Amino acid sequence: MPLVTTASIVDAARTANAGALAFNVLHLETAEALVTAAERSELPVILQISENCARYHGSLRPLTLACLALAEESTARVSVHLDHLTDPELLRQGVAAGAVSAMVDASALPYAENVAQTAELTRWCHSRGVHVEAELGEVGGKDGVHAPGARTEPTEAHAFVEATGVDALAVAVGSSHAMLERTAVLDRALIQRLRGELDVPLVLHGSSGVSDEELRAAIAAGLTKINISTHLVSVFTRSVRDTLTASPELVDSRKYVAPARAAVADEAERLLRLLGAPQSVSDETETHERRATEGGAK
């Protein structure tokens, strides 16, 4: 199927009150696993390539082209997105390679500088038909410190979107990057306020540290694009470790990478089915009522 736009996936999810799942690609095997998950679930997927990943491979273009090729050969709806780009040159390279959307990440800069840089790069992207995401209220964890970071203030977020023209906004509502345990608690009241204040889809970074139930509730409250990386990286690594522990004589990397790829496909499919379907406030209410009933019966 021809490559689809990130905007079409995110906008459709927002309209349906569903999650638009965006998974980070580390190498070809994870990209293959994610496309397999999308095909089996018959739900769209956003393949994300981060600046860190580009630095690891020494270039952005080869992996971007590989993801584009997988998208074109797949029966699933797949888009290719550039994640957490702080270097304008990498942004230009990724767009030239064929990526259909990008996150311009100037969130570590003071507000005025964040606005200026984001607005300039957004104009450049829009002139080339590229969907732009930005971040306001820096999400913690980028430097290994698992703090939730500053919260995104709704009025400031509204002004930021108006000033920059971005198409989607990553907001700080209690999550943190690179968490290994899914224990983060999100500020649902703030999510609802942000959804009411902004006309653009809301994005959650650091979703790996958030439980299934909390993610479902957050989508019901107004989040749309859900970014997941560390959780699937852990699934991949755990599978490799288990396979090599059971068969230490293995030397052909395909024999321990293939099970890891399959494990990632299974978990990504589960998350797509769980979060990619419409979420409703009534679902959340029923969960709380059922818990109350079960608690009273004990």
Choose, from 11, 83, 105, 187, the residue flagged as catalytic: 83
State the residue for tokens 């888009």.
79
Alpha-carbon distance of 171 to 176, in angstroms, equals 11
What does the angle CA 148 – CA 153 – CA 154 come to, to the nearest 5 degrees? 130
End-to-end CA distance of the chain: 52
Catalytic residue flag (residue 83): yes
- Range list of H helices, 178-229: 188-197, 212-221
Q: Give the integer Cα–Cα distance in Å for 84 and 102.
A: 8
Cα separation of 260 and 242, whole Å? Answer: 10
Instruction: Give CA–CA dist 261/235, Å, rounded.
Output: 9
The angle subtended at Cα 85 by Cα 84 and Cα 89, nearest 5°, is 170
Catalytic residues: 83
